Amino acid sequence: MNAIDPRMIHRKLVFRIFLMGLALSIIVGAGVWQMEKNKIGQDILWDAKNGFKDFNRQIRTLLNTPGILNPDRIHQHLVLEMAGQRENQSGQFVSMGIYTLGGELLTLVTDDTYENRDLVREKAGQLDDKIQTYKTMKFGVIHIDDTPHMQIISPLSNDLGELAAYGETFFAVFPETLNHIRRKAIKLSGAAVLIVMLTTGLLYPMVVTLLNRVSSLSAKLFESNLEMLKVLGSAVAKRDSDTDLHNYRVTIISVKLAENLNLPKPKIQRLIKGAFLHDVGKIGIEDDILHKPGRLSEEEFTVMKNHVPYGMDIVGKAEWIKEATDIVGYHHEKYDGSGYDHGLKGDEIPEIARIFAIADVFDALTSRRPYKEPFSFKKTMEIIIAGRGSHFDPVHVDAFEKIALTLFETYSKKEDDALKTELADLLKEYFYC
Ligand SMILES: [Fe+2]
């Protein structure tokens, strides 16, 4: 887990809330638009349906003898009906046709005042015996010159309630009705979008307040984790050599080498944790072996090797430092397989452990210890290069050779505080998003 950068989270939050508000607005706006269109569509249907029923009532008496319908009388009636039709709210009938029970077109009247009458005539009166398939009133919408026309087809009954003929009408929707639909739908959709945006805007400060609290807690948790890393590293350093400097330097040197090898950030994060805690298992090694000034006997060295499994055991107990395992468990492996604790060779050894091994040996050789003076840079590099392919990964040694002198000049004599500051900068760079 890295520390959360509140500014970055804030930017992400603003962007996501904006996207969410926009998506919601589009969904709600489109939904309202569709609902309003459907509602007004139902109003138009209601107008057309009632108009047709009214029309059926008006000609019912003329249909009392279904076998011998009088086309002229019905035609005259339809002409009168067309001329005096009740003005509907949403449109008007522009065509009325009557079919016999046999499906023959008896008469067709279109509104001569209607501008699209010719186009309507092309569509009307074309049903013939197909009309007989209409057992109840049916509706369809046909667009003529971009204007929706409701086609209504229905059986017609006479005064006796008998099926006496079939009727087909075209009901043209007024342009004003269409404009009204559009205006109303736009207004309602706009209102819906505004409400969603306002709600999102009102929620934003609340989310930011909560986020700030979470960021603050997260930062504290992260600081605690870093403190744990430092405390553990420092505890073992105090037991081993009375100083934290070795931990600081090997961490910085390892990171510099890893950067030179272009390792990705997550690997360098693991490298930092591992470098800090590489010898944490020495806490479990008894003083007379850990602090023995001279060379360890074979038995003593066997005991000393236990710091690796001890360390694995320690770092395995906490989630945040588990990532140190690669270095804690494998920093004494050698490239040719002669190291401990697992005898791994080559690429079997975790990459960051191979990198760390060079930094660890380099710093040990160039540092003053109770039992030795610091080696010169030249002698140290001779030893490192001699270990190329046996102790160390040859590719890593080649990369190290290019930066070793700069590292030596920069860090071998650097004071405690300066190293601390540089390490703090590294932690900031790699653990704060
Ligand atoms: Fe070690």
Q: Which of 56-65, 262-271, 328-337, 402-411 has the lowest mean pLDDT?
A: 56-65
Q: Residue 228: which residues within 8 A CB-CB, separation 6 or more?
A: 318, 320, 321
Contact 150, 171 (CB under 8 A): yes
- Higher-pLDDT residue of 115 and 11 is 115
Mean pLDDT computed over every residue of the chain: 86
What separation in Å is there between the alpha carbon of 422 and the centre of ligand 1?
Answer: 23
Contact 116, 144 (CB under 8 A): yes
Tokens of 49: 């349906």
Q: Which of 239-243, 408-412, 428-432 has the lowest mean pLDDT?
A: 239-243
Q: What is the mean pLDDT of residues 84-111?
A: 82
SS (H, E, C) 129-187: HHHHHCCCCEEEEEEECCEEEEEEEEEEECCCCCEEEEEEEEEEECHHHHHHHHHHHHH
**Quick one: pLDDT at residue 40?**
67
**Quick one: pLDDT at residue 50?**
82
Helix, strand or coil for residue 265? helix
Contact 166, 134 (CB under 8 A): yes
| Alpha helix (H) residue ranges in 264-350 | 265-277, 287-290, 298-305, 307-315, 325-328
Residues annotated as part of the active site: 282
What separation in Å is there between the alpha carbon of 186 and the centre of ligand 1?
Answer: 73
Band (241; pLDDT cuts 50, 70, 90): low
CATH 3.30.450 assigned to domain 6-181? The reply is yes
The percent of residues in the chain predicted with pLDDT above 90, rounded, is 32
One-letter amino acid at 219 equals: A
Tokens of 359: 């930094």
Cα–Cα distance, 24 to 261 (Å, whole number) = 47
What separation in Å is there between the alpha carbon of 243 and the centre of ligand 1?
Answer: 15
What separation in Å is there between the alpha carbon of 105 and the centre of ligand 1?
Answer: 104
Rounded-to-10 torsion of CA 135, 141, 142, 146? 170
Task: Check whether 5 has a pLDDT greater than 70.
Answer: no
Q: Residue 379: which residues within 8 A CB-CB, separation 6 or more?
A: 365
Q: What is the mean pLDDT of residues 325-342?
A: 96
Residue extents of the structural domains in the chain:
6-181, 243-431
**Quick one: pLDDT at residue 2?**
57
Tokens of 30: 């489109």
**Quick one: pLDDT at residue 245?**
82
Q: What is the DSSP string of 337-371?
A: S--SSS---GGGS-HHHHHHHHHHHHHHHHS-BTT
Cα–Cα distance, 237 to 276 (Å, whole number) = 10
Contacts by residues 15-18 (CB-CB < 8 Å, ≥ 24 positions apart): 17/200, 17/203, 17/204, 17/207, 18/200
What separation in Å is there between the alpha carbon of 280 and the centre of ligand 1?
Answer: 8
Q: How far is CA 126 from the centre of its chain?
A: 55
Q: How far is CA 150 from CA 114, 120, 143, 322, in A?
A: 15, 11, 9, 73
Instruction: Name 102's bridge partners.
Output: none
Q: What is the mean pLDDT of residues 186-207?
A: 82
pLDDT digits (tens, 9 = 90+) for 267-283: 999 999 999 899 999 98
Cα–Cα distance, 76 to 81 (Å, whole number) = 8
**Quick one: pLDDT at residue 247?**
86
What separation in Å is there between the alpha carbon of 333 and the centre of ligand 1?
Answer: 10
- Higher-pLDDT residue of 347 and 295 is 347
**Quick one: pLDDT at residue 151?**
87
**Quick one: pLDDT at residue 266?**
93
What separation in Å is there between the alpha carbon of 330 and the centre of ligand 1?
Answer: 9
Q: CATH number for the 243-431 domain, one of 1.10.3210.10, 1.10.10.10, 3.60.150.10, 1.10.10.60?
A: 1.10.3210.10
Contact 370, 332 (CB under 8 A): no
- Higher-pLDDT residue of 1 and 261 is 261
In degrees, rounded to 5, the angle at the alpha carbon of residue 166 between the alpha carbons of residues 124 and 114 is: 30
What separation in Å is there between the alpha carbon of 305 and the centre of ligand 1?
Answer: 8
Band (122; pLDDT cuts 50, 70, 90): confident
Question: H-helix or E-strand containing 18?
Answer: helix 6-59
Which strands make up the sheet holding 147-157, listed edge to edge?
105-110, 91-99, 163-173, 147-157, 138-144
**Quick one: pLDDT at residue 333?**
97
In degrees, rounded to 5, the angle at the alpha carbon of residue 225 between the alpha carbons of residues 276 and 331 is: 25
Task: Check whether 87 has a pLDDT greater than 80.
Answer: no
Q: How far is CA 256 from CA 101, 184, 380, in A?
A: 97, 67, 18
pLDDT digits (tens, 9 = 90+) for 131-184: 888 888 888 888 888 788 888 898 998 888 888 899 998 888 887 877 887 788
Q: Residue 265: which residues within 8 A CB-CB, separation 6 or more?
A: 430
Q: Residue 332: which residues within 8 A CB-CB, separation 6 or more?
A: 305, 308, 339, 340, 341, 357
- Higher-pLDDT residue of 13 and 256 is 256
**Quick one: pLDDT at residue 397?**
97
Cα–Cα distance, 137 to 117 (Å, whole number) = 24
Q: What is the mean pLDDT of residues 366-372?
A: 79
**pLDDT winner (highest mean) among 15-19, 29-33, 334-338, 370-374:** 334-338
